[in-house]
Amino acid sequence: MATWAIGDLQGCYDETARLLEKIQYDPAKDALWFCGDLVNRGGQSLEVLRLVRTLGAGTVVTLGNHDLSLLAVAERTEAEQEKVNPELRSILFAPDRNELLAWLRGQSLLHHDAGLNFTMVHAGFAPRWTLPQAQRAAREVERQLRGPEYGRLLKSMFGNKPAIWSGRLKGIERMRASINVLTRLRYCDQRGRIAFAEKGTPGTQPPGLYPWYEVPGGIKRDTRIVCGHWSTLGRFAGLGIYAIDTGCVWGGALTALRLDAEDPYFVTIKSTRKPPAGREMD
C-alpha cells in the first residue's frame, strides 16, 4: 500500500490521469491525498471532480480557495452563475452538479494522519498555531460547511479582513480568518498578519514579511506538513514542510509526494499547457 499527496490539479485532468499511471496507483490498496484547488483554469474541472469523487475510500481532499469559490458561486442566482467562466459553468449546469457540489462541500480543511506523522492543508498554518489549534479552526469551518446553514457562510466568507487570526474572534470574522489562513496564506508578518497581495518566490517579498513557515518565533510542530497553493514557490522540502504545487496549470508540472516512504520522495510529470491568458501566476 502506498500513500501519495498530489498538488493543485486546477482542472488538469489529462495530467492527473498521467500522474496516476506513473505512480501505478491501485485504488484497491493505495491512498491519495489531494491538497486542494481541484478546479478552475485548466479547462477540465468537471472531469477532475468526477474522477476524484470516484477514486475510492482511500482518497482525502482538503479544500482550496478555488474550491470554496466554486461552492460560493453555486449559491448565487442562476443568472449570476451564467456569468462565470465556461469551465465553472460546466460544473454548475452539469446533470450531476448537486452530487458533485455536496461531495465537495463535505471535504476537509485540514487532514492529519498520526501514523504517518503528516498533516495536509491547502495553504498553511498561522505562525503560532499548534496542530490542535489548527485542527479546531478547521473543524469549526467544516461543521458550518456541512450544516444546514452552509449558504450563510459561503455568502460571507470572502474578504481580506480580518487579516490576522485571533482566538478572540467570533462568528463570521472567525470563520473568515480561519479560511484565509488555511486556504490563502503565503506571506505574513511576525504577528501573523497575511500579506494577500504577495505571491512571488521567497526573497522577493518586502521587508518584514516572511513565508508562513519561516516566521521568527513561530511554533515548532511535531507533525510534518504537506501543502500547495503557492506555485511560484514550487517544489520545496525543508523545515518539516513539503510544498507540492508545481504550477501544472501554468505550464509547470504536476507533483506527487510519497508520504509513507522512509524518506518521502517526489514524482513529477511535466505539463505541456500554455498558461491561462490574462491570468497572473499564483
pLDDT at res. 278: 66
Please say if the pLDDT value at position 256 is more than 70: yes
Shortest CA distance to 244 belongs to which of 32, 30, 100, 24? 32
Answering whether pTM is above 0.75, one says yes
* Whole-angstrom distance, CA of residue 65 vs CA of residue 119: 18
Please say if the pLDDT value at position 248 is more than 80: yes
* Whole-angstrom distance, CA of residue 13 vs CA of residue 39: 10
pLDDT tens track for 58-108: 999 999 999 999 999 999 999 999 999 999 999 999 999 999 999 999 999
pLDDT tens track for 12-30: 999 999 999 999 999 999 9
How distant, in Å, are the alpha carbons of 69, 152, 174, 271 from that of 156?
Answer: 11, 6, 11, 35
Q: CATH classification of 3-270 is 3.60.21.10, yes or no?
A: yes
Q: Write down the mean pLDDT value for the chain.
A: 96
Please say if the pLDDT value at position 277 is more than 80: no
pLDDT tens track for 126-177: 999 999 999 999 999 999 999 999 999 999 999 999 999 999 999 999 999 9
- First-last CA distance in the chain: 33
More confident residue, 237 or 281: 237
* Whole-angstrom distance, CA of residue 123 vs CA of residue 35: 9
Q: Using pLDDT thresholds of 50, 70 and 90, give the confidence band for residue 274.
A: confident
Please say if the pLDDT value at position 281 is more than 70: no
Give the orientation angle of helix 45-53 with respect to helix 97-105, to 10 degrees. 70
Residue with cell 494522519: 113
Shortest CA distance to 184 belongs to which of 118, 125, 243? 125
pLDDT at res. 56: 82
* Whole-angstrom distance, CA of residue 126 vs CA of residue 185: 8
Please say if the pLDDT value at position 270 is more than 90: yes
